[in-house]
Amino acid sequence: MSDARPSPDGLPLGFRVRLADDAHRCDDGRTLFGGSSGRLVHLRPAALARIDGSGSVRVEDRTSAAVARLLLDRGLAHPWWPDAADASPPADVTLVVPVLDRPAELDRLLTGLPGVRTVVVDDGSQDPAAVVAVCRTHDARYVRHPERRGPAAARNTGLAAVTTSCVAFADSDVVLDVRALVALRRHLDDPHVVLAAPRVLGLDEGRGVLARFEAARSSLDLGATPARVHPHGRVSYVPSAMLLARRDVLGDGFDESLEVAEDVDLVWRLAREHTVRYDPDVVVRHEHRTTPRAWLHRKAFYGTGAALLATRHGSAVAPVVMAPWAGVVAAALLAQRRWSLPVALAACAITEVSLARRLAGSDRPHRAAAAVMAVGLHATLTQTASALVRHHWPLAVALAPASRRARRALVVAAVVDGVLDHRRVRPDLDVVRWTALRRAEDLAYGVGLWAGCARERSARALLPLVRRTARTSPDPDTPPTRGSR
C-alpha cells in the first residue's frame, strides 16, 4: 500500500500514475491528448518536470499531486504499482457471491480465497443442501432466497449483510485468488475511485472454434489497456462477473427490475460523480458459453439491455458518438458519390484549421491538430463500420436489395472490420472463421437490440450522438477540484 498520509489533492504520498499507452505527446511532451476520454491538455514546465523518463508520476508534493490528479481525471494516465500485490486477505473486504445451484463451481471459487470474508446468497437453488455444505466447508455465511429473484436481488441481499468498508462481487462461475482482491483494493487508495474491475478471461481452454473465439473476443473481456470507465469512453462499462467497490457509495445497489445490464446501469450511476477503474493487469477467469445456441442467445440477451439503458441514461448508450465534422466525413463516404471525397477532405481541412487556432500555444499547432484529427478519423471509420454490421444491420440489409451503394458499404464494412480486427487481436483462428463469427455475434446482438427497442417502443438506443470536437484543458497551478472534468 502507499503511504497513508494524504497529499494536498487527496492522493496518498507515494501513489504512482503512468501515462496511458494511447496518450499521445507533442511539443516535447508539453501537449498530451488521447487516452480513454479523448482529452487534450497543455502542461506547464513545473508539471512536465514531474513526469519521469518512463512516463510516470510519483505523488511527492502539491505539484506532483495536481499533475497526477489532472492526468487521471483526463484519462491520460492510470494508477501504477511497480510491486506485486500482497497475498494476505484484505481485512476490509467482504465477498458476495450470488448462486443458483452450481455447488461445484462455488466450491472451486471459494477454494481459491482462503481467509476471505464471504457471503453466499442462494437465489432459490433446487438443492440448497449442497450449497450449504460448500459454505460450511469454507466458513462462508449462507443466506437464502426461497424463490428465485434474479442476480441483482441476490447481490443486493448480500450487500445488505456486509459490514466492512469494501465489498466485492463475484459470480459463482468465476475463478480468482486473494491477490486479485488485494490488487483491486489498491485502486481505492485514490479517494475519488469507488469501484474497480479486473479483466475477465475465459476458463475453458478447449480447442473448439467458439472456445478460441471467446478466449480472444468475449463480451466480458474489455481488453489489455487500463482505463477510466465512463459512457463513450474507450471502456464504457465493466461486467458484474467480478467487481470491488466502496460499500457506502452503492446505496441500494443494483436495480432489481433489470434482468440484463444491471451492472452497466450501476457503473454509469456511479461514474456520474465518482471514478470507476478498469485494471487488465488483474485477471480472473470465467466459464464462457461455447456452444452455438447458448452463445448466440447470450449475445442477443446482451443486446436487449441497450433499450433499457437508454430509458435510464439517454444518449450514454448511443452506438455512434461523433463530432460534427466526423459526422460529415462519415455521411460523405457512405454516400459514395463523386463529391464524397472532396466534401470529406474539406470538412477535415476546416476542422484542422479551427483546431490549430485553439492549439496556438503549441510549438507546431497544425501538426498537433492533424494528430488529434487522425485519432478522431480512425474512431469515426471504426464506429461507422460497427454501426453498419452490428447496431444497424437490419436497416442496412433492408436497403441493400434496392441500392448498390448500400450493398457495397455493407460488404466492405463486414470484411474490412473482420480483417482489421483479426490483425489487431491475433486470435488462434484463421481470418475467415474469425470474421464469420464476428458477424454472427453482431447479428445476434443486433437482433436483441432491435427487439429490446420494440419492447420499449423507443428507438433511442439506435440514435447517434453528435458532440463538439476535442476539448482542451490547461494544467492548473492549484490542484484540480473534484468536479473538474
On whether the pTM is more than 0.85, the answer is yes
| Spatial CA neighbour of 15 closest among 24, 23, 6 | 6
Question: Is residue 474 over pLDDT 50?
Answer: no
User: Residue 36 and residue 225: Cα distance in Å, rounded?
Assistant: 9
With cut-offs at 50, 70 and 90, classify the pLDDT of residue 105. Answer: very high
Q: Are the CB atoms for 133 and 219 separated by under 8 Å?
A: no
Give the residue-averaged pLDDT of 264-293.
93
Residue the block writes with cell 467458439: 210
Sheet containing 77-79: give its strands across. 56-58, 16-19, 77-79
Q: Are the CB atoms for 298 and 214 separated by under 8 Å?
A: no
Residue the block writes with cell 436497403: 399
Q: What percent of the chain has pLDDT over 70?
A: 93
Q: Are the CB atoms for 267 and 238 separated by under 8 Å?
A: yes
Sheet containing 472-474: give its strands across. 23-26, 31-34, 39-42, 472-474
User: Residue 441 and residue 435: Cα distance in Å, rounded?
Assistant: 10
- Strand, coil or helix: what is 476? coil
Question: Is residue 153 over pLDDT 90?
Answer: yes
Q: Are the CB atoms for 470 and 322 separated by under 8 Å?
A: no
Q: What is the pLDDT of residues 21-47, one digit of tens each?
A: 888 777 777 778 776 556 778 788 888
Counting Cα atoms < 13 Å in the Cβ hemisphere of 21 gives 6
Q: What is the pLDDT of residues 306-354, one digit of tens each?
A: 999 999 999 999 999 888 999 999 999 999 999 999 999 999 999 999 9
User: Residue 103 and residue 173: Cα distance in Å, rounded?
Assistant: 10
Give the residue-averaged pLDDT of 266-286.
95
Question: Is residue 482 over pLDDT 50?
Answer: no
With cut-offs at 50, 70 and 90, classify the pLDDT of residue 468. Answer: low
User: Residue 179 and residue 88: Cα distance in Å, rounded?
Assistant: 8
Question: Is residue 290 over pLDDT 60?
Answer: yes
What pLDDT is attached to residue 215? Answer: 84
Give the residue-averaged pLDDT of 294-306.
95
Question: Is residue 2 over pLDDT 80?
Answer: no
What pLDDT is attached to residue 233? Answer: 85
Write down the mean pLDDT value for the chain. Answer: 89
User: Residue 485 and residue 480: Cα distance in Å, rounded?
Assistant: 9
Look at 111-120, 313-322, 448-457 and tell me which has the smallest mean pLDDT. Answer: 313-322
What pLDDT is attached to residue 35? Answer: 64
Q: What is the pLDDT of residues 399-410, one digit of tens each?
A: 999 999 999 999
What pLDDT is attached to residue 340? Answer: 95
| Spatial CA neighbour of 443 closest among 296, 293, 291, 261 | 296
What pLDDT is attached to residue 472? Answer: 41
> What residue type is 151 in one-letter code?
P
Can you list the domains of the chain with their CATH numbers? 16-81 (no CATH), 93-290 (3.90.550.10), 321-466 (no CATH)
What pLDDT is attached to residue 454? Answer: 96
With cut-offs at 50, 70 and 90, classify the pLDDT of residue 4. Answer: very low
Backbone angles phi, psi at 161, to 5 degrees: -90, -5
User: Residue 202 and residue 214: Cα distance in Å, rounded?
Assistant: 7
Look at 46-50, 277-281, 420-424, 441-445 and tell me which has the smallest mean pLDDT. Answer: 46-50
Question: Is residue 292 over pLDDT 50?
Answer: yes
What pLDDT is attached to residue 483? Answer: 28
What pLDDT is attached to residue 204? Answer: 67
Give the residue-averaged pLDDT of 438-457.
96
User: Residue 332 and residue 158: Cα distance in Å, rounded?
Assistant: 52
Q: Are the CB atoms for 344 and 333 separated by under 8 Å?
A: yes
Q: What is the pLDDT of residues 344-398, one digit of tens each?
A: 999 999 999 998 888 777 778 888 888 888 888 888 889 999 999 999 999 999 9
For residues 385-423, one letter each, b for 16 or more C-beta atoms within 10 angstroms of the residue's C-beta and e for the rest, the string is: bbbbbbbbbeebbeebeeeeebeebbeebbeebbeebbe
What pLDDT is attached to residue 43? Answer: 85
